[in-house]
């Protein structure tokens, strides 16, 4: 049920975003309309992410390992916050730098798990390779943002790849029962 709702919502949201973007560019509408478009785009991207997660075989097989990594990171961050709050340990600017690196380590850990899963997977299709490219660019983008590099190119490339992958998964979901999986 939730998969069907996300699938339909993503398709409708994608159509609304494409039409809205074309209207914004063709009619040169005001900033108020751009805010409506931006909110719609953000909601559609969230639905696309949730849709990918609901149909992902990796998430179904490795969810407990991912939750262990997230839980470990949460415990470390909670512990450091409590130590700082109760004045047990005072954090200097170097310690704060390490605390800011923890979320990057989370993404890197999940990325390495997915790479290991991808390596062990027997049959790869084009969508799997697109996912690896997207995740690699996201990891590079996360590190660039942390070290204050300008990453507008990576942001645009990430968005285009994300929508290519969402479209490919949607096509596989609609076409696979009728014709077979797109290779």
- In this prediction, residue 134 carries a pLDDT of 81
In 3D, which of 61, 72, 159, 71 has the Cα closest to residue 114?
61
Assigned token pair, 132: 């690896």
Residues 76-110 have pLDDT tens digits of 777 777 776 776 666 666 566 666 677 777 778 88
Rounded-to-integer distance, Cα 93 and Cα 105, Å: 19
pTM, 2 dp: 0.65
Lowest mean pLDDT among 3-7, 111-115, 123-127: 3-7
- Average of pLDDT values for 12-38? 77
What is the per-residue pLDDT for 99? 66
Q: At what angle do helices 152-175 and 2-27 cross, to 10 degrees?
A: 130
Which run of H or E residues covers position 34? helix 31-55
Q: What is the pLDDT of residues 134-160, one digit of tens each?
A: 888 888 887 887 777 766 777 777 788
């Amino acid at each position: 049920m939730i998969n069907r709702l996300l699938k339909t919502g993503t398709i409708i949201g994608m159509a609304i975003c494409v039409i809205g973007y074309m209207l914004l560019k063709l009619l040169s509408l005001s900033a108020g309309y751009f805010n409506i478009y931006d909110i719609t785009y953000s909601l559609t991207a969230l639905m696309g992410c949730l849709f990918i997660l609901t149909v992902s075989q990796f998430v179904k097989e490795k969810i407990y390992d991912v939750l262990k990594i997230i839980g470990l990171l949460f415990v470390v961050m909670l512990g450091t916050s409590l130590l700082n709050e109760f004045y047990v340990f005072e954090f200097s600017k170097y310690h704060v730098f390490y605390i800011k690196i923890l979320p990057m380590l989370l993404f890197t850990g999940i990325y390495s798990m997915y790479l290991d899963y991808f390596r062990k997977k027997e049959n790869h299709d084009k969508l799997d390779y697109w996912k690896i490219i997207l995740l690699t660019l996201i990891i590079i983008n996360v590190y660039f943002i942390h070290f204050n590099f300008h990453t507008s190119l990576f942001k645009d490339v990430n968005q285009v790849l994300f929508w290519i992958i969402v479209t490919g998964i949607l096509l596989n979901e609609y076409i696979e029962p009728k014709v077979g999986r797109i290779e």
